[in-house]
Amino acid sequence: MNEKNGLLIAFEGIDGTGKSTQLTHLGKHLEEKGCQVVMTFEPSDGPYGKQIRELFVNRKNVSPEEELELFIQDRRQHVNEVIEPALAAGKIVLTDRYYFSTVAYQGAAGCDPETIFAKNNFAPEPDMVVLLTIEAKQSLERIRQLRGETPNDFEQEEQLTQVAALFSSFTHPFIKRVDASKSFDDVQASIRNETDLLLQKKEHPCIRG
């Protein structure tokens, strides 16, 4: 077993798949088992992340390339200041979105997916990606009805369908796809199951029982 047991788990998928709620539940579950967990998110709440959030409101004034650079700068800071230190301290890091989202969203906006992956090679590869899958139509329905929000510029159906297609094209062996159209509890059970398998594989001290 490694002396340090840091693990990086990224939650990915289109808007409205349940990433934020599922991540929080998994985090609490791991903490109850005695694991040291850091829950974090992208875009971060640093200066670049704040600029990105402003784009959510009005995306028209910036090119896909400029947008991509902001995401990369935000991630550089997030990796340096949050992710790397937590992993070095042996913690389990759960991140709500990571570089697969950048490839899928900025890819759908017109940037080349391989180029985006290459620009992210400074970011540590996750031990597992929980990729929540759902039809764009159903996720938009959730955003409208359950969250009571009007979908923003990033969330139009045609766009989201393209984003979902890019997510489904990824073939990394550490990506675990979970059907997010199922009930919340079913989805959480699948995520916990995949996480338990990962902890066992890594001989992590938080193994159940």
What is the residue type of 44? S
Report which residue's Cβ sits closest to ligand ADP: 18
| Chosen residue from 25, 33, 59, 142 binding ligand ADP by CB under 6 A | 142
Please count the other Cβ atoms lying within 10 Å of the Cβ belonging to residue 96: 18
165 binding partner (options ligand ADP, Mg ion, none; Cβ < 5 to 8 Å by kind): none
Number of residues that bind ligand ADP (CB under 6 A): 13
Angular region, 92: left φ>0, alpha ψ -120 to 50, beta rest: beta
User: Would you say 131 or 206 has its CB closer to ligand ADP?
Assistant: 131
Span 37-96, contacts to ligand ADP by CB under 6 A? none
- Tell whether residue 17 is a contact of ligand ADP (CB under 6 A): yes
User: Would you say 6 or 126 has its CB closer to ligand ADP?
Assistant: 126
Contacting residues for 171 by C-beta, under 8 A, at least 6 apart: none
d(CA 97, CA 131): 10
Please give the angle made by the CA atoms of 188, 192 and 193, to the nearest 5 degrees.
115
- Tell whether residue 25 is a contact of ligand ADP (CB under 6 A): no
Point out which residues bind ligand ADP (CB under 6 A).
Answer: 15-21, 142, 146-147, 183-184, 187
